[in-house]
A = this chain, B = another copy of it.
């Protein structure tokens, strides 16, 4: 029998500074026949996420970095082609973390069926998946946001930010969001129903924040770091909470840039800054998914996607994240 072919994207060079196309290679492979408890899956959608940049260096953070000459792992949605696993059948839609490849063979225990009746399959990489869960955790568990409070969300039009904005608004908070283009601002205002501004058109970020919200923020949901964090800290209310979710503004820095010069306000304003990673909170994921499925069913949450076609374009999609090429979730469709 002719072995099944697949293509994978490998990391072949660790970038210093922004990743470039030559850091990646498309590699043809042939798959083994699925053995006992194994499945063969054909991917339909690949996830492209900012955290991936952090795994392209040599530093171990909360998980091991990518291995050179191996596949770029990450979330993917696929359909089961062959199953030797008792709980999975041909045609099942599944979420895996085997990353950027057309097809794979793996133990079925590491592959999770999704319910396409609750949300479109690719939403399990976005609003119903890790980014949505991250937003939900940040708002409910980390910030413990309450009705009547004001929250500032940077990167408001991203996969996490766009969900955070809407969850905050639904709670009865006033939501201010920053984004990096007129289109993103329009999406945030028209679809997410929050106040938004284009930070790339803003000369002086702190003054802009004061102008929008003179009384200061109860909560800052940071997806950006850098100037955003510096300015937001300065406009926090006493006893405010800072959700340390991401710093996309600096993932490509060759050397970590200096931190916010305003950090002393954590003392004078008695702030709490708290970093988190979604996978620490797996016990809450079923509750999140049930709530999000309800919001989707009742059309109480909006999302948007930026779709790039073709496995070979996954690297460009990742590179694009850092120049703000995406509104909402960045996806590769196979």
Contacts and interface: CB of A to CB of B under 8 A. Distances in A.
Interface of A: 54, 61-62, 225, 229-230, 238, 244-247, 250, 255-277, 280
A54 B269 CA distance: 13
B268 A262 contact: no
Contacts of A250: 264
A61 B268 contact: yes
Given A273-B273, A275-B269, A280-B270, A247 B261 contact: no
Given A238-B62, A273-B273, A244 B258 contact: no
Given A259-B259, A261-B256, A261-B258, A277 B270 contact: yes
Contacts of A255: 261
A257 B261 contact: yes
Contacts of A260: 258-259, 263
B258 A258 contact: yes
Given A259-B259, A270-B280, A247 B264 contact: yes
Given A244-B267, A255-B261, A267-B275, 8 more contacts: A62-B238, A229-B263, A258-B261, A267-B276, A267-B277, A268-B275, A272-B272, A272-B274
Given A256-B261, A259-B260, A259-B261, A275 B280 contact: no
Nearest to A54: B268
A235 to B, nearest CB: 14
A244 B54 CA distance: 27
A246 B266 CA distance: 10
A273 B266 CA distance: 8
A61 B263 CA distance: 13
Majority DSSP secondary structure for residues of A touching B: loop
B280 A276 contact: no
A227 B257 CA distance: 14
7 contacts: A61-B269, A230-B259, A244-B267, A245-B267, A256-B262, A271-B275, A273-B273
A277 B238 CA distance: 11
9 smallest A-B Cβ distances: which pairs? A259-B259, A258-B258, A266-B275, A61-B268, A267-B275, A259-B263, A256-B261, A273-B273, A259-B260
B256 A244 contact: no
Contacts of A276: 267, 270
A268 B62 contact: yes
Given A247-B267, A271-B275, A275-B271, A259 B262 contact: yes
A244 B266 contact: yes
Nearest to A273: B273
B275 A270 contact: yes
Nearest to A261: B256
Contacts of A262: 256, 259
A6 to B, nearest CB: 32
A141 to B, nearest CB: 12
A29 B54 CA distance: 64
A213 B78 CA distance: 45
Contacts of A62: 238, 268-270
